[in-house]
Structure 1
Amino acid sequence: MVSKRPPQATVYPDGLRIGAPASEARGGSANLIDFFLCLILALPVAFAGFAAYASAADGSARGTWATVALLWGSALLVSFGNQVLLGRWCGGSLGKLMLGLHVVRTRDGRRPRFWHLVGRWLAGLLLVPFGVLILAIALAGAVGIDAPLSTGEWLGVSPVHREVPEGPALTPEERAAPERAAERRQPKDAHESRERKARKREERARQREAVARRVREGEAEPLPYGRRVWCAVLDLVFTVVVGTLVWFVLIVAVPSTRTDDSDTVAPIAVMCAAYLGCSFLNRVLLNRTLRGSLGRRLLGLRTAVTRTGRPPGVARLVLQWLLGLALSPISFFFILFGAAPLAQRIVGVTVVPTRERVASQVAAVT
């Protein structure tokens, strides 16, 4: 019996050792964290710039173009500081540092130079829509997606683990040899490719059925406290950030929502509607499409019916969402003490790992 080999460090000809390359899942999660952090940190910067502009203009700064320019300018400024300045000074953006990663030059393993990071940042801005699309497809479990979730690999910058493992290490040529061989190797015919995809689908179906069986039989392991908390935090951040952006867009684009300072009912109503819409999108639509909310899918979890282990239907998800809104003041305490939210218990749904957590073992061929 053989088990999965631990990650190995990379050693360069000058003796420099760096950590193992980051997986696409971890790199994509770091990019998504950077995206949300950029939006969160851009809001106070935009508010400060908006107040400074209003003070300099000696009045209310409610021009549409001024608002849009301040909002986008703040987001670009925060993104530049996170991706370029922190990448140069600390070795990586906030998202990568939070996940134990940093970026290095692929050719020599050193920290990227300033202009190298600027070029990577500009390329990332141009490819943001495609990166979000690839990430959504990857979270949905599609197969055949081989494009990296980072522009660094195209520009000679690679995310690697900060921790450098001991023991034997691979040279860059040895690490790149299997990838180059795979690129040169073409499928003999279309039938071979279809069979390979069918085997992957069957394997994922067996793993999902194993998890569903454990849920039905009551043998599913309880989720760790940290994963429950991080799921709630990521879902809350998604709702707040996206809802705030939708609110800003509606305030700027819809003239009827821009009232005088004495009338605050319309802006508050628009803000509540934006938050509720984003919460419905995450808790119901994404839950049904991806079999889990965005926070759960990022942490390798999915939603299942407690009685059957199958994905819940739309009606059950809508009922859970409505109960969650009504019980939101006390749901925080359930999460704080490591228990499942009350709405999940009432509706009869649970959160389980996407795949069965067993050590993968392969029989040795003798």
Structure 2
Amino acid sequence: MRDDTTQDLTGLNTLRLVSHAAHYFRLDNEQQLPQVTQRRHAAGQDIYVLGGGSNLVLREHISKPVVHNQLKGIRLVEETDDVFIIEAAGGENWHDFVATCIGNGWYGLENLALIPGTVGACPVQNIGAYGVEVMDRIESVHAWDIEQGRSRLFSVADCAFSYRDSLFKKPAGQGYLITAVRFRLPKQWTPVTTYPDLKNDPALAQSPTAQQIFDAVCRIRQAKLPDPAQIGNAGSFFKNPIVSAGKQSQLKSDYPALVSYQQADGSYKLAAGWMIEQCGWKGKSLGPVGMHHRQALVLVNHGGATAADVLALADAVKASTQEKFGVTLEREPVLFD
């Protein structure tokens, strides 16, 4: 494990926020995991685990130790008549892993193409897009208990998955470093094209392949969302809020163009981006940060921003949507402070 006294994290988070860590450790193999625990005890405080830096808001100065998960490896663990069980190490790039699966004939993750970040981060956020959530594909999560210094295996039930949430985002689960994730991918694959953008794509009109869905998702995301390599962003900054049927009905009466999607339990998911746009924030900036001109749900860094700038804009956007719609937006990215 490489131990640097300090580390500039500005280039290690997709929002490109100015940030420095007082103690940075790079984790390259599982044999180093006991050292993570030793450093946790020596520091006397919790450790932050950094992956691809794609779903984070980093403070300007981080005093807690930061462990950068760079564990690599993808393998077929088991093959039955019905499924492939695939394991990927926590430090693998998520999109590259999805592409590898498609190339090997392991289908089921294609709707989640081009989501930034690492495999280790996917269960934390319970990432989802275009009609698929990763919890529906996960078999188990393997992690290192940093405090106790031992390996842990989490079943899907153990992970307590919900919309863009899991055990690992809650205080009880934040002491784990995810070393690997196993996925259960069906051999009898069925395309998921119910999401409007895919349903209306002419390239997917008749019996689409997994590769065609993968390509379509990449094409749609590239058209809608800014590339973090071109302008700092963390993707969707707010969760799409879930409201009761009664609240949705009231809002639909007041705003006939309201974008909403009924859920299995009768509640409704609202399009946070649509609400933010109605509040006038699309393309609008506050200091060095702003909401993107093509997608109002994406907060972008125009250059030199800090966490304080991001949180100030987020608070302003939340206040606007609360005032106009009576709906409280919740931030997706995790704050390292």
| TM-score band, normalised by shorter chain | under 0.3
Max radius of gyration: which structure? 1
Q: TM-score, normalised by structure 1?
A: 0.24
More helix per residue: 1
